[in-house]
Copies of this chain bind each other. A is one copy, B any other.
Amino acid sequence: MSLQFEVLKKHGKARRGKLQTKHGVVNTPAFMPVGTCGTVKAMMPESVAATGAEILLGNTYHLMLRPGADLVEKMGGLHKFMNWDKPILTDSGGFQVMSLSGLRKLNEDGVWFSSHVDGKKFFLSPEESMKIQHKLDSNITMCFDECVKLPASHEDVSKSMEMSMRWAKRSKDAWINRDGYGIFGIQQGGTYEDLRKISADKLREIGFDGYAIGGLAVGEGQETMFEVLDYAPDMLPEDKPRYLMGVGRPDDIMGAVLRGVDMFDCVMPTRSGRTSQAFTARGTINIRNARHREDPRPLEAECDCPLCKNYSRAYIHHLQKCNEVLAVMLLTWHNIRYYQRLMQGIRNALDNGTLDEFAKDFYTHQAMGDIEEF
């Protein structure tokens, strides 16, 4: 296997690790900002790096539609194309085909679908997805899988999972090994423990550089997700990174780290930056709220992002009211920085053996809500 992963410390089920790729190290637990179309929305890549992010997620589905994998390859790969020289993980396209594309025809082979952009027909299969992710030059390739919406019957989830495992094998076979690159399998099985076990065993048999927990955060709610996370990560190899796809809110991440998850991605910090939502240690703040109109204080006094260092809440409120792009830029930066500070705090706590205190403090502050009105 071509990615080096090391678990440096453990605290309960939580793990502090280090993943080595051709484009650099990823310290785990890690949060990956999402760069859907070859850009983390409203951020310069150097700003993304300045937040502490060590790895980005790119979307195979979006990039295959626009600008196309061949063009990205011709331009020297995704790193060069988007001016991001740190590691990149790409999803397989499977999830977005299900959630975004128009007419689909799915069988054992793969899936035909029409683009949500212009209706053009495309085909994705394990082999196609591997080819595209190879062209993108993704450091971490994800297996092509099918993802069913929850709730779903045991039979439906089982059938889908079994096909995803056959696709996992085809993905692995089609993936081209290179130094500093790797491929992750994706555990399926919905909320059924027996299916999660079968899926994990099949993936372990194939053998991957890392293991994702898929099919969660699709509307089942945090309680149900945590029930699955109480057992699912334990089924995966100890010595490989575990990645919870599409998760999540800060307390989702905190809870998942405590259950043994190492990697995360989510559009939450970037999307929220476009809808006036700011993440803080004291919960989510809507900066459009009138209470901020004359507030000279920073959004979060403890934060070192440009928004918190250089501007008042009143200013950001004003920018939002005027629909200024800078509001989106600054809020996105703050939100990504908040996520990275959270991950850094978790990693430090793991390094120092103080994760229990850190988690307690995290929950206490989240529950307090925003500072008193000015």
Contact = CB atoms under 8 A, between A and B. Distances in A.
How many copies of this chain sit in the oligomeric assembly?
2
A328 B325 contact: yes
Contact of A83 (B37, B311, B329): B311
A191 interface: no
Given A67-B314, A83-B310, A312-B81, A44 B326 contact: yes
Interface in A289-317: 293-294, 296, 306, 310-312, 314-315, 317
B66 A329 contact: no
B81 A325 contact: no
Interface residues of A, number: 37
B42 A315 contact: no
A75 B314 contact: yes
A7 interface: no
B71 A294 contact: yes
A329 B38 contact: no
A324 B71 contact: no
B75 A315 contact: yes
A321 interface: yes
B71 A314 contact: yes
A82 interface: yes
A65 B317 CA distance: 14
A134 interface: no
Interface string A191-223: 000000000000000000000000000000000
A324 B41 contact: yes
A329 B44 contact: yes
Interface of A: 37-39, 41-44, 46, 66-67, 71, 74-76, 81-83, 293-294, 296, 306, 310-312, 314-315, 317-319, 321-322, 324-326, 328-330
Given A42-B329, A75-B296, A325-B328, 5 more contacts: A37-B322, A38-B315, A71-B318, A74-B296, A325-B325
Q: Which 10 pairs of residues, A with B, have the shortest CB-CB distance?
A: A42-B325, A67-B318, A83-B310, A39-B326, A37-B322, A39-B324, A81-B315, A75-B314, A66-B322, A75-B296
